Chain A
């Protein structure tokens, strides 16, 4: 379970505090694949980043006994001035690996971006970035209980998408997903439960279809 206790998150804007979440109390199951639903700017990415430890709530806390990945998204996680190889080394090292060669090789093989693997990440296209970000988690023989994915597949080509989907499904038994994606077919393929962000709060649905229906009732005009 991932527990949210009195979670408050706001952004300071020129016109005062903009609350994304207000007094959220909820426990999310970690044995389900959860799709996060909501329109742009409602706080999906913020939620993912807070669960992944890349952002902090202004008040309250999120805690869990499970192993949760870092947020896999297009922004953050890769240092632009370093090459993909150096980024991979960095991530391997902070996870306690002394020998990073094997992981480098795995990510390189997965990403298939050729000689760009040794070029600075800032020169990458967004598709190449997503290949590295995705390859990173896959390169580790990871045992995350929950993988946080923020619209990562959106920029990949068909080939890469097929490959990453295959990998995700392989890990399906052990690793659950919490996923942000605006493509309903993609969500339906991977997820069976839904989490709707509505009125600065989180609403959990056991069935993804119910969540999608509610989402369309509230937000889609």
Chain B
């Protein structure tokens, strides 16, 4: 047995072990797993791009439809995927908490890393493919695109931590999360932008931080698109507050995960 590992080394070893275990069950069960991780968002966007083409639109706000949807769909996917994955993070690894090296936060950290890595890979692959098809895929402001994604990730992590805590009290939380993701998709501006709806109806979506994120993500990607609604301040405040609340609820209940 290895001696005198400090706490950080133990945590890294544990996260590494959990990561190997997660990758194995998620992708390795059948070889198609890796394929689906990429095929699912690609299929989603193809269907939507096709829909828009069929109703006669080939371009939205001078942006090609595929890019218009992708720049919003990908951050939205990151949000829902990360949130649902974190909701069940602890429960899915319950048996492994029997080892004292594994604490409740370790599976959460593991899943955050996996989701972010998957997101980056999918993002790059899809845009390389579009570039190969002849689209101009270089973002006008790369840093802002990244910033929007980071804020979405913070938001999703905060909500995921809260839901994970709630999940330890009430097992049906998973179903609830599944129920809200579809309406969220409509309200998050994946298929439309703020300029496409009349200002008197903005109140329907302007409370939604994810809507701000998709707007800002588009505006960062295409300088030709100026968002009338998206606010960095609103998104960042939401992300920070929800992330802090998530961490707090998780920390307060950290022993519950092991005992309950």
B2 at interface by CB-CB < 8 Å: yes
B96 at interface by CB-CB < 8 Å: yes
B53 at interface by CB-CB < 8 Å: no
CB pair A86–B100 under 8 Å, yes or no, is no
CB pair A80–B10 under 8 Å, yes or no, is no
Query: Across the two chains, which residue of chain A brings its CB closest to B106?
Result: A94
CB within 8 A of A82: which of B10, B25, B255, B259? B25
CB pair A94–B97 under 8 Å, yes or no, is no
A38 at interface by CB-CB < 8 Å: no
Which chain A residues numbered 92 to 124 have a C-beta less than 8 Å away from chain B? 93-97
A-binding segment of B16-24, B172-180, B222-230: B16-24
CB pair B5–A94 under 8 Å, yes or no, is no
CB pair A94–B258 under 8 Å, yes or no, is no
CB pair A94–B17 under 8 Å, yes or no, is yes
List chain B residues, Cβ under 8 A from A94: 10, 13-14, 17, 99, 101-102
B95 at interface by CB-CB < 8 Å: yes
CB pair A77–B20 under 8 Å, yes or no, is no
Which chain B residues numbered 1 to 35 have a C-beta less than 8 Å away from chain A? 1-2, 5, 9-10, 13-14, 16-18, 20-21, 24-25
A81 at interface by CB-CB < 8 Å: yes
Q: Whole-angstrom distance from the CB of A152 to the nearest CB of chain B?
A: 14
Query: Across the two chains, which residue of chain B brings its CB closest to A55?
Result: B259
CB pair A53–B10 under 8 Å, yes or no, is no
B130 at interface by CB-CB < 8 Å: no
A28 at interface by CB-CB < 8 Å: no
Q: Give CA–CA (A81, B92) in the complex, Å.
A: 10
Q: Whole-angstrom distance from the CB of B29 to the nearest CB of chain A?
A: 9
Main secondary structure of the interface of B (DSSP, over half): helix
Instruction: Report which residue of A53, A58, A78, A89 has the largest number of chain B beta carbons within 10 angstroms of its beta carbon.
Output: A53
Q: Give CA–CA (A189, B195) in the complex, Å.
A: 81
Q: Whole-angstrom distance from the CB of B6 to the nearest CB of chain A?
A: 11
Which chain A residues numbered 67 to 87 have a C-beta less than 8 Å away from chain B? 67, 70-71, 76-82, 86
Q: Give CA–CA (A42, B97) in the complex, Å.
A: 23
B-binding segment of A29-37, A137-145, A212-220: A137-145
- Using C-beta atoms within 8 Å of the partner chain, give the interface range for chain B: 20 to 34
A56 at interface by CB-CB < 8 Å: yes
Knowing A56-B259, A71-B98, A77-B98, say if A90 contacts B21 (CB, 8 Å): yes
Query: Across the two chains, which residue of chain B brings its CB closest to A80?
Result: B95
Q: Give CA–CA (A94, B2) in the complex, Å.
A: 10
Q: Give CA–CA (A76, B101) in the complex, Å.
A: 14
CB pair A93–B17 under 8 Å, yes or no, is yes
CB within 8 A of B21: which of A67, A79, A96, A97? A79
CB pair A77–B99 under 8 Å, yes or no, is yes
Instruction: Report which residue of A49, A76, A78, A140 has the largest number of chain B beta carbons within 10 angstroms of its beta carbon.
Output: A76
List chain B residues, Cβ under 8 A from A77: 95-96, 98-99
A155 at interface by CB-CB < 8 Å: no
B118 at interface by CB-CB < 8 Å: no
CB pair B101–A90 under 8 Å, yes or no, is no
Q: Give CA–CA (A52, B97) in the complex, Å.
A: 11
Q: Give CA–CA (A13, B97) in the complex, Å.
A: 23
Query: Across the two chains, which residue of chain A brings its CB closest to B102?
Result: A94
A167 at interface by CB-CB < 8 Å: no
Knowing A71-B98, A79-B95, A82-B24, say if A93 contacts B16 (CB, 8 Å): yes
B181 at interface by CB-CB < 8 Å: no
CB pair A54–B25 under 8 Å, yes or no, is no
CB within 8 A of A56: which of B9, B16, B24, B258? B258
Q: Whole-angstrom distance from the CB of A20 to the nearest CB of chain B?
A: 12
B168 at interface by CB-CB < 8 Å: no
CB pair B5–A70 under 8 Å, yes or no, is no
Shortest Cβ-Cβ A-B pairs, 3 listed: A53-B100, A93-B17, A96-B2
Further 4 A-B residue pairs, CB within 8 A, beyond A52-B98, A81-B25? A56-B255, A79-B21, A90-B96, A142-B1
Offer 19 A-B interface pairs, CB within 8 angstroms, sorted by A. A54-B100, A54-B258, A67-B1, A70-B99, A70-B100, A71-B98, A77-B96, A78-B95, A79-B95, A80-B95, A81-B25, A90-B17, A90-B96, A91-B99, A93-B14, A93-B16, A93-B17, A94-B13, A95-B13
